[in-house]
Amino acid sequence: MELGSITTALALQVSTPARQIATNGTTATCSSGCGCEGCLGSKVTLSSEGLARSATSPEEGAPAAEEASGQATALTESEQAEVADLKQQDQAVRRHEQAHIAASGGLAIGGASYGFTRGPDGQSYAVSGEVSIRLSKGRSPEETLSIARAARAAALAPADPSPQDRAVAAAASQLEAEARREQYQAASSPPVSGNGRVLTAEEINRFYLPEPNPRGNRVQVQA
């Protein structure tokens, strides 16, 4: 299968007790992740439910309005529960995306990008994330194998890979299979002459096998 040049964006929805939160959506020419030619592009975007470069610190997570008007103390019980859930989602999203990057073997293109929502406390929380990795044929079947394996490892690195992550892993496996076929074809192809003509068995014996030596082979050694 020839590999096209596309960008696949993988998205997921997460929910809070109060409402359903949608991610950034799809920015790709092929969003199914089905492993077709479009899904085996030069760049694949891994998107997840939640993940963070680091856990939200007390300073980062503290409501800004608390300093000015004590808004945090005015939140209802339901809103407080929603804020707690959003904080957990933010941390999970960042962990998820960082797992993709850490396992990408240098294939990650830039860092993670996040989609945010504003909580009832006025703070922004990450509820979706994306990491772009390179998934394309290398200069040789061996290089392609290395790329495919690293891409699959990156896709499945999080503890909870999404269906889209698994689709990217499947696309990487398909790329690996293609590289293995190329290796097999190269190994099993008959020798050819300079003009591309397949050599006969007699020619192979003449050009590739040494002439018999009735006195035996001579080996030189030096002290």
Q: Which domain holds residue 121?
A: 7-188
| Most trustworthy range by pLDDT among 29-33, 67-71, 117-121 | 117-121
Does the model's pTM come out above 0.85?
no
User: Average pLDDT, stretch 89-114?
Assistant: 94
In-domain check, residue 105: yes
pLDDT of residue 139: 92
How many Å apart are CA 13 and CA 89, to the nearest integer? 11
How many Å apart are CA 113 and CA 88, to the nearest integer? 18
Contact between 161 and 134 under an 8 Å Cβ cutoff? The reply is no
pLDDT of residue 201: 57
Q: Is the pLDDT of residue 199 over 50?
A: yes
Angle between helices 77-102 and 141-155 (to 10 degrees): 160
In-domain check, residue 206: no
Joined together, the tokens standing for residue 179 give 């590289």
In-domain check, residue 65: yes
Q: Is the pLDDT of residue 5 over 60?
A: no
Which of the pair, 18 or 93, is modelled with greater confidence? 93
Q: Backbone dihedral region of 211: left (phi > 0), alpha (psi from -120 to 50 degrees) or beta?
A: beta
How many Å apart are CA 105 and CA 118, to the nearest integer? 34
Q: What is the DSSP letter of 192?
A: B
In-domain check, residue 210: no
Which of the pair, 50 or 47, is modelled with greater confidence? 47
Contact between 108 and 133 under an 8 Å Cβ cutoff? The reply is yes
User: Average pLDDT, stretch 76-87?
Assistant: 96
pLDDT in tens, 121-176: 999 999 999 999 889 999 999 999 999 999 999 999 999 999 889 999 999 999 99
Strand order in the sheet with 43-48: 7-9, 43-48, 124-134, 108-118
In-domain check, residue 181: yes
In-domain check, residue 193: no
Smallest CA-to-CA distance from 80 within 95, 96, 66, 94 is with 66
User: Average pLDDT, stretch 183-210?
Assistant: 61
Question: How many domains does the chain contain in total?
Answer: 1
Q: What angle do CA 116, 117, 122 make, to 5 degrees?
A: 120
pLDDT of residue 206: 53
